[in-house]
Amino acid sequence: MPGEKEPIKVVATNRRAYHDYHILETLEAGIALRGPEIKSVRQGKISLQEGFARVQGGEVWLENVYIAPYERGGHYNVDPRRPRKLLLHRDEIRRLIGKTQERGLTLIPLRVYLKNGRAKVELALARGKKLYDKRAAIAEREAQREIERAAKWR
């Protein structure tokens, strides 16, 4: 039906992001893709593992994200790890410039999804975790599991 919203289909998630970073805030951005790249994204052939975003020249670029070449793309396929422009409003970019210049803050992709037929990325403003932070998070998770196990047996 016209005007009906299509559900969001999550294509890829960056599960390591929650382990390696403290997520401070998130925002949605569109991705400027070329030719057959969108077909590969729709098939779920995308990896966010080592990806990050960089503010450069008043624009935001998604770097080191792997989108597999589309098998029927032929000579239209592009470099799988090329930088891709992110589509954000000017005021959002200005705010990100201020935030990323703070010490230790970085932009990382959390997930890629399709919304109304368009590829979107959920970006997170994050601060890297130290090794002791990671250990504390693991210990907390284990303690929570033990509590749930004990409650289950009662």
| Mean pLDDT, all residues of the chain | 88
pLDDT band at 31 (very low <50, low <70, confident <90, very high): very high
Reported pTM: 0.80
How far is residue 147 from each of residues 66, 133, 140, 144, 154, measured CA to CA in Å?
A: 40, 21, 11, 5, 11
Let me know: does 25 contact 124? Beta carbons within 8 Å: yes
Kindly tell me the sign of the dihedral angle through the C-alpha atoms of 134, 126, 119, 77: negative
**Rounded distance, CA 89 to CA 52, Å?**
19
DSSP per-residue codes, the chain:
-TTPPPPPEEEEE-THHHHHEEEEEEEEEEE---TTHHHHHHTT-EE-TT-EEEEETTEEEEES-EEPPPTT-GGG---TT--EEEE--HHHHHHHHHHHTSTTEEEEEEEEEEETTEEEEEEEEEEEPPHHHHHHHHHHHHHHHHHHHHHHH-
Domains in the chain, please, with CATH? 9-153 (2.40.280.10)
Question: Does position 22 have pLDDT exceeding 70, yes or no?
Answer: yes
Tell which wins on pLDDT, 77 or 45. 45
Question: Which amino acid makes up residue 49?
Answer: Q
Question: Which amino acid makes up residue 1?
Answer: M
Tell me the per-residue pLDDT of 63-109, one tens digit each, with 9 for 90 and over: 999 988 888 777 777 778 889 999 999 999 999 888 888 777 899 99
pLDDT of residue 34: 85
**Rounded distance, CA 22 to CA 106, Å?**
10
Backbone angles phi, psi at 51, to 5 degrees: -75, 155
Question: Does position 133 have pLDDT exceeding 90, yes or no?
Answer: no
The percentage of residues in the chain with a pLDDT greater than 70, rounded to a whole number, is 97
